[in-house]
Structure 1
Amino acid sequence: MKLFLREYLGFICIYFFNFIFLLIFYNNIGGFESITNIFYFIFITTFIMTGYLIYKYYKNKKMYCILNNPPDQIEEYLCDIGNDSNAQQLENLFKKQYSLYQGEIQNYVKKQKQHLVFMNHWVHQMKTPISVIQLIIQENEDEPYIINIRDEIDRIQNNLNTALYLARIDNFEHDFKVETVDLKVLVFDVVNNLKRVFIKKHIYPEVKIKSSFFVQTDFKWMKFVIHQVIINAIKYSSENKKVSIEIYEKYDSSIVKIKDEGVGIPKTDIKRVFEPSYTGENGRVFGESTGMGLYIVSEVCKRLGHKIEIESEVNKGTIFKIIFKKFR
């Protein structure tokens, strides 16, 4: 109603000005013979104006409702908003904008698919020379420089995997398979893959898992998640420290707890570590952080229905908890 009154305020003002002018004009020239004629004139003109405004209001009511309370979904703008010429023009404008929007979305989706294909192709192309280098390493294991080359190859592979998983995260629903996974097997698999990194950094992995814990998740994606968290724990720990991995049950959940004795995360950074490209104070100090690893970890857990929690204290260490709801 406010929009309607605002639109026709000028019309109402002109009407009343014209009404007063005619009333005074006809009264001065003797046009009204009695008080009854004056009231009749007032009634007729007011009735005509009121009827016209009521007609216009109800004809454009849908349009005013949409303008006053915009819909939450863009498809809702495509509904019928009235028969008035202005309403029809506005409806056509919404349809044109929706068509342009859909065109932009399709172009974006096409570019995303092209980017994904490129990233997958590029990563697999990069893995070929890495495999060749690994064969050369095996043939020259006695050389003193081989250890350093192997460490750098491991770093390259880790970064390539991060790039590959980041490229696939937007198409996550097409690239995951929920199955029954033994967390004990998963954790030991990750720890064994990282044994050279533990040895190089002189960090002891303390695994406290006495039995199997079965959960519903995707093995490949969760392997990346746990791998990324442990890699971070190693990266930000000094020599002769330990990284402990524990699995336990609490209430209706199975929890993977990864605790390090590293530099910890400042309170100003702890709420933002899962944001994309956010490196924080530690990333600037250590200089190797891309800010994407924990973002992918957070997104994967969210999309698989798991929770991830973080506790940290500067110079004392960090605790990551990945929480899996028990399936029934």
Structure 2
Amino acid sequence: MQESITNDFSFFDNFDDAIIKLDFLKVKNSNKTAKSLGFFEGNEILDVFTSNKIDEITRWIISNESFKIEDKFYFFQLTDERFVRIRYFQSYLFIKDLTEKVKVKEAKVNFTTSISHELFTPLSALKGNLYFLRENISDKFTLEVLNQMEKSVRRMERIIRQLKIISMLELGMYEPKNDIIDVEKLINEVLDEFSEKIESKKLKFSVEFKIDEVKFDSFMLYTIIKNIVSNAIKYSYEESTIYIIVDKESITVKDNGIGIKKEDIKKVTERFYRSKNAIKMAPGSGLGLSIVKHICNILGCKLDIKSDYLIGTEVKIYY
């Protein structure tokens, strides 16, 4: 069956990818898509396309070594450069054109970068004005108001940065860093951001550090902890205690709050999902845990959620 298919190469005309049967470096057979790129019977592949990796590709084909590569290639018949994925296996060359996909990806990245830049610009001007006012005002009440405004500006900058990096993560364009993080300092920054909400609900925090430092992407870890702590604060009962434990394997946040029903636990990491009890308890977007799950999936972390309805929830991140 396989032999009859390869003898009648028109079978492969049904495929969108270019498929070429090689005899050493010459084209023996090719499908319709391949012919549109210039892979006609008897042509040398070096007369069809080129790239800065053509020497490596030629060497692999000569040694009949399987490979997969994604890169820009110039096709002489098209007189155009295309971004393609090339696979080689047992004298067969498979070429998939990824040009349009890459262009869309680049457009999304450019859009995200442009939007974040436009949002940062007025915030930078606002920070400058706040600094000027603080240097020229001595009234304690006004200075406190300015301090609160500056905190809000920093929070906005962090949110914009989060959105940008999450977008880049989704597009596969963000390379996670391996920072050495002072976890106590990072968690204190998160708690400081929620200081007003913590005070308004008269919440207490019990924080235990079994290690001083952890290797992780600092911005991603901040985003994870911020979203988990935010949920713990929202759904904790007033005057209750929230526990945070940091050890060499994981970070745990445990609250005494409304908890999650068993049937809702799998749903809480879905975008925009909020249970009926959560909606009654506090405002929110339903994005927090979905962001945490998305980051964990990309960084190879494990997210574990345990909850007892009306008693409390424990969220653990294994890094």
**TM-score class normalised by the smaller sequence:** 0.5 to 0.7
Q: Which of 115, 118, 124 is the aligned partner of 1:119?
A: 115
Residues 244 and 122 (structure 1), Cα distance of their counterparts in 2 relative to 1, 3 Å cut: farther
Partner of 1:59: 7
Structure with higher strand content: 2
1:1-328 aligned within 5 A: 1=1, 59-60=7-8, 77-80=17-20, 88-89=31-32, 92=35, 102-128=98-124, 131=127, 142=141, 153=152, 159-160=159-160, 162-170=162-170, 174-209=174-209, 211-248=210-247, 254-282=249-277, 284-285=279-280, 288-324=283-319
Partner of 1:24: none
Aligned residues: 257
Answer with 1 or 2: which has the greater Rg: 1
Q: State the AA in 1 paired with 2:202.
A: H
Following superposition, the deviation at residue 217 of structure 1 comes to: 0.9
Q: State the AA in 1 paired with 2:186.
A: L
Q: State the AA in 2 paired with 1:113.
A: V
Structure with higher helix content: 1
Instruction: Deviation per CA, 1:176-231: give whole Å up to 9, x if none.
Output: 3203334334323423443333113321111123x434332112221121112111
Residues 130 and 233 (structure 1), Cα distance of their counterparts in 2 relative to 1, 3 Å cut: farther
Runs of 5+ consecutive residues of structure 2 not aligned to the other structure: 39-77, 79-83, 85-94
> What root-mean-square deviation, in Å, do the aligned CA atoms of Structure 1 and Structure 2 show?
4.3
Aligned residues of 1:182 and 1:212 also touching (Cα < 8 A): no
**Using CA pairs below 8 Å that are at least 6 residues apart, which structure has the higher relative contact order?**
1
Q: State the AA in 2 paired with 1:89.
A: K
SS of alignment partner, residue 278 of structure 1:
coil
Instruction: Quote the Cα distance in structure 1 between the aligned partners of 2:285 and 2:127.
Output: 25
SS of alignment partner, residue 176 of structure 1:
coil
Task: Compute the TM-score of the two structures, normalised by the length of structure 2.
Answer: 0.62
Percent identity, aligned pairs only, is 19
Instruction: Quote the Cα distance in structure 2 between the aligned partners of 1:152 and 1:186.
Output: 16
Q: State the AA in 2 paired with 1:215.
A: V
Aligned residues of 1:63 and 1:81 also touching (Cα < 8 A): no
Aligned residues of 2:203 and 2:241 also touching (Cα < 8 A): yes
Aligned residues of 2:235 and 2:278 also touching (Cα < 8 A): no
Following superposition, the deviation at residue 303 of structure 1 comes to: 2.7
